[in-house]
Amino acid sequence: MADSNAERPLRKISTAFKELAATVRSPSPEVPVAQFSQACSLVSPLFGCLGIAFKFAEMDYVAKVEDLAKASSSVSTLVVMMDKDIEANCVRKAGSHTRNLLRVKRGLDMVRALFVEIIASDFSFYLVKTQGKEIFNVFFGDTCRGDNSLKDPASKSYAQVFAPHHGWAIRKAVALGMYALPTRSQLLTMLNEEEAEAKIQMQSYVNASAPVIAYLDNLFLSKQLGIDW
């Protein structure tokens, strides 16, 4: 049961990204670095909840969000920040704000993809309960074994977002770490949410983060920087 007096990170994330989505949907979107980095910092605990499989992602994501937060003291918007790096010819250099922004964008997309898979697995669990284990196995195999596992949603989202940018060693380490993921119930406990409400908040993030991620992609592409590096 959720503790009404404890922090509920999913709700904070949902609210922050709804506000970001409203900003990027405005006629002349100017995203403040401070607002963006603050919203992204709220996502950081999610990686920590996923354990060793995503420890690398947590460390990398947190460090790069902190860099953007520091940059916000001297740079007003994401566009200005990117233009300064372009002018300094340091966009692709390790530690540049623009490079860090791209990595943070992938982190946001990873969480979006994970939530999509978790929500989709709700449907699979429903089928198990209503149609029976045997029928479920015929149509779905062992994708969602009805055992509350996050391995399948996490594996699919990792393969979609992070894996194309990781070498063999990291991909292997992640694959091994997938066996140490928390269960769905354990994740909900860490997030202090009941399953029904968690699903609502996850869907809210999925909906709100989509235009934000699209805005970031378009920003990189409009500057002819690409997004696959």
> How many domains are contained in the chain?
1
Average model confidence (pLDDT) across the chain: 88
When pLDDT is averaged across residues 108-115 and rounded to a whole number, the result is 98
Does 147 map to a domain?
yes
| pLDDT at res. 141 | 35
| pLDDT at res. 3 | 60
- pTM of the complete model: 0.86
Backbone angles phi, psi at 43, to 5 degrees: -80, -25
Going by pLDDT thresholds of 50, 70 and 90, the confidence category of residue 1 is: low
Q: Is the pLDDT of residue 163 over 80?
A: yes
Reported as a single tens digit per residue, the pLDDT across 24-43 is 999 889 999 999 999 999 99
| pLDDT at res. 121 | 84
Going by pLDDT thresholds of 50, 70 and 90, the confidence category of residue 146 is: very low
- How big is the CA angle at 143 (ends 161 and 158), to the nearest 5 degrees? 15
| pLDDT at res. 28 | 87
Going by pLDDT thresholds of 50, 70 and 90, the confidence category of residue 145 is: very low
Does 1 map to a domain?
no
Q: Is the pLDDT of residue 64 over 50?
A: yes
Does 228 map to a domain?
no
Does 227 map to a domain?
no
| pLDDT at res. 106 | 97
Does 229 map to a domain?
no
Residues 14, 205: contact at Cβ < 8 Å?
A: yes
| pLDDT at res. 125 | 45
Say what percent of the chain tops pLDDT 90: 78
Does 90 map to a domain?
yes
In this structure, of 40-44, 95-99, 124-128, the range with the lowest mean pLDDT score is 124-128
Residues 93, 48: contact at Cβ < 8 Å?
A: no
Expressed as residue numbers, the domain containing 15 is: 9-21+30-222
Does 108 map to a domain?
yes
Does 69 map to a domain?
yes
Q: Is the pLDDT of residue 132 over 90?
A: no
In this structure, of 4-18, 102-116, 212-226, the range with the lowest mean pLDDT score is 4-18
Question: Which residue type, as a one-letter code, is found at position 90?
Answer: C
- How big is the CA angle at 133 (ends 131 and 136), to the nearest 5 degrees? 65
CATH of the domain at 162: 1.10.3520.10
